[in-house]
Structure 1
């Protein structure tokens, strides 16, 4: 008995997702070009383990091509995964889909996740999905992460706070007097960037360092 062409194509695409990175990329591209709800579980499953950045990006694109009513609930389920990449990719994809039904799933635990990639993905998703009026509360949670990690992580957090605009200002001003110099430095740099987006993160950080040092010296003097 001959297998229908649709099923043959599906089998070929699924097999392709197990090949080398180039083959995987082409397979996911094909799936995204002709969306089929039967692929959604496999796309999400692959997102959790895919090592290649470009393939992961294509997986996200392919998922956005499917109905949000199908993908969003399954992606929300992934947020409870023990695998950090599964949580991170699910958050990234939810941010690209932009369906606010996912907002309640962006918990404080995710926004403060111990894994930097998960936390960064959560920050990006949160500023996209936050409902009107809840920006200040989100800014307060994000501000608890000021001073965290290396430059890349700090830049991601600054961008998230800047995306919230004026809603971030009260928490940033409070953090600018924090006992921890790293928190003060990061808050000052973010506030500078919020007021002057063209300054650049490196310049803002260096300026913030000088302000923190001078502030400490003046207090000591």
Structure 2
């Protein structure tokens, strides 16, 4: 399984370097399918796809991948926080392009900054959860990501994720999220290279469900 999955990563890189016309969704679908396979190899079973996918990214990724970090623009999109209470607020920052390290928070810092947001609502906006819900599910079911995902990285700097505001008819800004392709490839390659050789027991409580 390990070599098969790593071959999918090699395929992704070859496609990106080729003259073949490919869509971002083609690459996203391959990467998310590899991650789903890694999660299924580690925790087999039915009805747990979302929980184990997120668990894999949060519990088994290197710390510097920030898979458990909370996406502040997603908190805004989902109505958990008001934009004025974030770095987009007062001070002329509403149109700024942010990178993840400049605006996002680990879970403890998120709870400290936004104490009225429940742990579960914070977790619903983690990178791991968004990769599952906004990328994997969209690609698998509609061959398109969530409406707040953009394929074009707003920041040209090295980043895991970056954000931009897209104008709306009412004059406001729609917060757009871009998971950088280099980050997604590196994250997926790590898990393919470390796919479980034997299944593990299911956690007593999945990370996404723990309050």
Question: Shorter-normalised TM-score: what interval?
Answer: under 0.3
**Higher helix proportion, which one?**
1
TM-score scaled to structure 1, two decimals?
0.24
Which structure has the greater CA radius of gyration? 1
Higher relative CO (CA 8 A, sep ≥ 6), structure 1 or 2? Answer: 2
